[in-house]
Structure 1
């Protein structure tokens, strides 16, 4: 892994966990403790994280970094996104929350042959509260973009609050894909912010099919605010690293579990 990719991975890891010590980060990213200290020091100089005794936390302005800081390619997220995107049919109204995995879903949908061809009418409608997803897809005339209103969060580029929810309550969706920061069988999907949890839950509730998307690094984690479990979602899409015991726990709670095929070697 190149240095800039490693730093992006470190920032994303901090965004998910909130705090990391040097040894924990070095183990997760498979580098030496000395290398991790240098990476943390470099990011601290850029004010993207704050060094603590023995570790780091994200700087207040970068608690959950906007997507432009997350350039590293993560094969598991891409595999999850491809599997989720395959559930969409031409003409569907698709809800997408913010997040790295849902951004990958948006990119996958935009490049699907049946959706990529320009025509007199939009082949797909995407409803999103994510500024970066709307920005990426707005240049594609074959995809109709509906961006909810709301208050923009600088850390995640998501719009939340009463304006966003007012728009969502007027819409019906065929399918919604909701990203989370953590998910376990008992608690369901969770995120760091209660406003994002509320908006994302409503988006899921407005959909005929609600799908929570999370790569295996999120499994077993609980964050501050609950989005929902089988009371909101019908399906969990994750990657092939999920073990059978974990799958059974989610299935017992009433969720259909779909695992993405592992990425091809060298892909």
Structure 2
């Protein structure tokens, strides 16, 4: 699929900084003409800069936009979402930060039969700063959506800024699922953008049970902006690819660990 090919091309550029058309064609197993068209498409979106015979990664493309990240480690994210959904009783108020893992959690909650049953009142309230999550859930009449205000981030579809803070300070949540770009035992949870980090931290603080969700590829990594140390969270949900040693380190810092199995 073209979507997956564009993601793969961006990932290759992320690793190497620049690539020629022929080199990229060989790596992706497609024709040079196809790579040229893909590079032109990504250049139009300002994710790369075309050069003579190839492309270089755009200086602003430090993180793939969310629309290109959904296919990465998809089985792990689906299983994490199933484990997260199991923690949510009907009638709960649930916080969801932006991100592909939390988007999968939203989809899993939306597909639960007990939350789709007709009734005079909503069966679930979701508080989110993610435009894409609100868009997906808005068509579900039995799920009440509370969308924070703020300034939209075009890469992550998240709303940030003081308007988001104002809304979050006026609500409480039973449980909040916070997605991350990195989770380190010492530094804690981190993301690429400091404005998103602030909103994520406040969402975690306003929840009775704040849960950090992260596939195993992000464990031990650190991104630019700190959300908070491990003591900000009650629980970590990850997949079975997580190294036992790093899981032990998180447990020693007080996190309950839920390991979601990945299907064969």
TM-score for both structures, normalised by structure 1: 0.84
Aligned positions of 1:94-113 closer than 5 A: 94-113=94-113
CA offsets, 1:46-72, max 9 Å, x none? 1243259998535748954143x4453
What residue in structure 2 maps to residue 248 of structure 1?
A: 248
Q: How many residues align?
A: 252
Aligned positions of 1:19-34 closer than 5 A: 19-21=14-16, 33=27
CA offsets, 1:130-171, max 9 Å, x none? 000000100111000000001111111000111000100010
Gaps of 5+ in 2: 19-24
What residue in structure 1 maps to residue 6 of structure 2?
A: 7
Larger Rg: 2
CA distance in 1, matches of 2:59, 2:38: 10
SS in 2 for 1:237: strand
What residue in structure 1 maps to residue 221 of structure 2?
A: 221
Instruction: Kindly state the Cα deviation for residue 40 of structure 1 after the two structures are TM-superposed.
Output: 6.7
Q: 1:41 to 1:178 in 2, by over 3 A?
A: farther
Query: Does the alignment pair 1:144 with 2:144?
Result: yes
CA distance in 1, matches of 2:114, 2:16: 46
Q: 1:260 to 1:41 in 2, by over 3 A?
A: farther
Gaps of 5+ in 1: 24-30
SS in 1 for 2:230: coil
What residue in structure 1 maps to residue 40 of structure 2?
A: 45
Instruction: Kindly state the Cα deviation for residue 220 of structure 1 after the two structures are TM-superposed.
Output: 1.5
Query: Does the alignment pair 1:129 with 2:129?
Result: yes
SS in 2 for 1:20: helix
Q: Does the aligned pair in 2 maintain the 1:193–1:224 contact within 8 Å?
A: yes
SS in 1 for 2:210: strand
Instruction: Kindly state the Cα deviation for residue 109 of structure 1 after the two structures are TM-superposed.
Output: 0.3
What residue in structure 2 maps to residue 262 of structure 1?
A: 262
Instruction: Kindly state the Cα deviation for residue 115 of structure 1 after the two structures are TM-superposed.
Output: 0.5
CA offsets, 1:102-121, max 9 Å, x none? 00000000011110222211
CA offsets, 1:1-48, max 9 Å, x none? x5542433554x58xxx932179xxxxxxx964649968755431124
Q: 1:262 to 1:165 in 2, by over 3 A?
A: same
TM-score for both structures, normalised by structure 2: 0.85
CA distance in 2, matches of 1:220, 1:37: 37
Instruction: Kindly state the Cα deviation for residue 243 of structure 1 after the two structures are TM-superposed.
Output: 1.7
